[in-house]
Amino acid sequence: MDTSTPPTAAARRAAAIARHLAALCPRDAAALGPSPCLSYAPPESSGPGAAFSPLELRLFLDGHHLRERDWAFGAMEESPLFCQRRSGGKVFVSPDYNEGKEGQREATMRRVGYLARRGVFRGWLTEPGPDAELRKLALLECLGVYDHSLAIKVGVHFFLWGSAIKFLGTKRHHDKWLQDTENYVIKGCFSMTELGHGSNVRGIETVATYDSKTREFVINTPCESAQKYWIGGAANHATHTIVFAQLHINGRNEGVHAFVAQIRDENENVMPNIQIADCGHKIGLNGVDNGRIWFNNIRVPRESLLNLVADVLPDGKYVSMIDDPDQRFAAFLSPLTLGRVNIAVNSVYVSKVGLAIAVRYALSRRAFSITPDGPEMLLLDYPSHQRRLLPLLAKACLMSSAGNFMKRMYVRRTPEHNKAIHIYSSALKATLTWQNMTTLQECREACGGQGLKTENRIGIFKAEFDVQSTFEGDNNVLMQQVSKALYAEFLAAKRKNQPFKGLGLEHLNGPSPVIPDYLTSDTLRSSSFQMDLLCLRERDLLTQFTTEVSNYLAQGESKEKALMLSYQLAEDLARAFTERTILQIFLEDEKNIPTGSLKDILGLLRSLYVMVCIEESASFLRYGCLSRENVASARKEMMTLCSELRPHALDIVSSFGIPDAFLSPLAFDWIEANARSSGNE
C-alpha cells in the first residue's frame, strides 16, 4: 500500500527557495575558504621615503635645545619609576592610571625626586639668561609629553611659587628661598584662586592686615568663599605658599598683594591656625594634590611681603614704585604670564603625540575595499580621513612656531614688552589649548575603539588636559581681554593721530586689502593673499567692534556694559587677531628656510592652515571678506592640499621628535600588542 502523503505547504515553499538558491550558486563554484589573517605592515615599509629632512623640520618646530630634550626623554625611559612596559615588541612608558589618587600623587613625587637627582632642574631659578630659560622650558615640555601631572607639579613649584619669589620678591627673598626651591629643600605652592573668585583676582576676599606694633601681617580667611581652592601641591606635599590677599593698613585697602607663608613644618605637619583639605578626585590630573586652605589669623613677618612692586615700612607707611593701582595690580599677576606660555606650548606637544599615534595607525590600519576582491584601503588613503587628520597636522605645525615666538619674546622681555606679552600669551594660551582638545577628540575618534584604551594615551589625554582651558585664566575671559586690548590700541592710535605700532597691527596703517573676485589655486596658495585676507578680516572686525561699542556709549551705556554687550564681535575679533598672528609668525620663520623641499612642505602646511581657517569660521562670509564662490573654492583647495600632504604625513609626525616609547602600542604593531600571548588586560 502507498503510504506517501502530499507535501505540506511549508515543504513546498522550502523546496522552491532551495531551487532559487541553487540557481544563484553554480555547482562548480569553489567552496568558501578562510580569509588570510591580517598582518601588520609598518608605515615605513611603504612609500617613497622622505622628500625632506625630518631632522631639519624638527629643528624648525622645536626651535631650540634638541639635545637637552633627547637627554630628558632618555632619563625618563631609563628609570622604572616611569612605568616601563613591553607591548607589541616595544617598550613604552606612561603613568599607571589604574593607581588610586594617593598612589598617583606619590608616584609623581617619586618621579620629581628622581629628576632632581638627575640634575634636570639645575639652574632653573639660579642660572640667568635667555638660554637658561629656554632650556628650562624645553625640559618642562618633555615632562609634559610623559605626564601632565608631572609637568603641573613641577610647574607650580618652579613657575608659580618660584617665579613669584624671583620676580615679585627682592634680594632678601632670593637669598632665602631660590636655592632651597631649586634643590627641593622646600616645596612651594601658589594660593591665588579662591572658592568665590577665580578669574576675577581683584575680588579675592582673603585679608592681610598689617600690625605695626609687632611688624607682622595677619592673614585671615574671613568667610567660606575666601578659602583658597584648587591649590596644586597643598593637599599633601607643599611646605610653603604664596598667599594673595587684600592688604589692609590702618583701615585702608591697598589692593591685592603677595605674601610668603609656611603651611607645613619640617615633619610635614600642618602649621597652627591653618586648615588644609583635599579637593578630591578629579576627571584628570590626579597625580597633583590640589587642596583647599583656610588661614585663621596667622602671623607672618613684615619681610614676608614680596616687595619688588610695593612695600610696607615698619611704621606702616605704604610705598610703591608704581603709582597707578591698575598697573600695580598687573605687575602682581606677572607670574601667571610664564604659566600661560608653558600651558600653550605644552598643549601643542600633546597634540603632536595624539597626531603621531593617529597618523601612524591610519597608515597601517585598513578598512573596506573599493573594488570587488580588491585589498582593503589604508585609512589615510580615504579623502575623508585625510580631512580629519591632516588639517590638524598643519595647525600643530603652525602653532609650534607661535609657541616658539612666545617663548623667545618672554625670555628676552623688557618692561616695554609686558603689555604685548600679556596679549599674546592670553590669545595663544586660549587658542592653542582649545585646539588641543579638538585635536585629541578627532584623533581619538580616528582610532576607533582602540582610541578608548588608556594604554593608547589619546583618550586619557582628553581628561588630563581638559583643565587647560580653565586654569591660569579661563579661555573665554582671556579672549575678551584680547579684544579689549585691541579696542584700547585702536582708540589710542586715533586719539593721538599716530600710526599703529606693535602686535602686528601695522597693517592697519595702509590701505585696505582688495580680494580678487575669482580665486585660483595659485592665488589661494599665495602667502601675500593669505596675509591680505586675514588682515582684512581683522581690520573689518576691529572697525565694527569699535563702532558697536561707540554706539552703546552714545546710548548712555557705561564702557564696561558696552564692551559686554558687544561680546559677539569681540569673540570674532580675538579669533581673527590670533589666527592672523599665527600665520604672520609662521611666515617670518618660513622666510629663513632656503628654497627646497622643506620650504615646499612648509608652504603646503601654511596653505592648508589658511584654507581650514576659512572653512571653520563663518566670519569670512558673515562680514563680507569672501564671496560664497570664493569660500567654495577654498574648500575645494583644502581637499587638494590634503591629498598633496598625504605622502608626507609620516615624515611630518616623525619630525616631532617624540621617542617611540612616549607614543603607544597603537602607533606600532597593534596586532601583536593585542595578541593572546601578549598578556595585556
Instruction: Look at residues 533, 547, 278, 590 and name the one whose alpha carbon lies nearest to residue 404.
Output: 590
On whether the CB atoms of residues 637 and 611 are closer than 8 A, the answer is yes
Q: What is the 3-state secondary structure (H, E, C) of 450-484?
A: HHHCHHHCHHHHHHHHHHHHCCCCCHHHHHHHHHH
Beta bridge partners of 189: 241
Distance CA(675)–CA(391), nearest Å, equals 33
Helix 130-146 to helix 66-78 angle (10° resolution) is 40
Distance CA(469)–CA(246), nearest Å, equals 27
Instruction: Look at residues 434, 533, 430, 433 and name the one whose alpha carbon lies nearest to residue 482.
Output: 430
| Three-class DSSP category at 291 | strand
Distance CA(118)–CA(139), nearest Å, equals 12
The response to whether 193 counts as a known ligand-binding position is yes
Is 472 known to be catalytic?
Answer: yes
Which residues fall within 8 angstroms of residue 364, CB to CB, at 6 or more apart?
40, 41, 42, 43, 378, 670
The 10 Å CB-count burial string (b at 16+, else e) for 344-371 is bbbbbbbbbbbbbbbbbbbbbbeeeeee
CA distances to 341, 473, 568, 625 from 429, in Å: 7, 9, 20, 27
The 10 Å CB-count burial string (b at 16+, else e) for 94-104 is bbebeeebeeb
Which helix or strand (DSSP H or E) is residue 378 part of? Answer: strand 377-378
**Catalytic-role residue among 455, 472, 489, 538:** 472
* DSSP letters for 380-421: GGSHHHHHHHHHHHHHHHHHHHHHHHHHHHHHT--GGGHHHH
Q: What is the 3-state secondary structure (H, E, C) of 544-596?
A: HHHHHHHHHHHCCCCHHHHHHHCHHHHHHHHHHHHHHHHHHHHHHHHHCCCCC
Which helix or strand (DSSP H or E) is residue 219 part of? Answer: strand 216-220
Distance CA(590)–CA(594), nearest Å, equals 9
Instruction: Show binding-site residues.
Output: 193, 232
Which residues are annotated as catalytic? 472
Instruction: Show binding-site residues for FAD.
Output: 193, 232
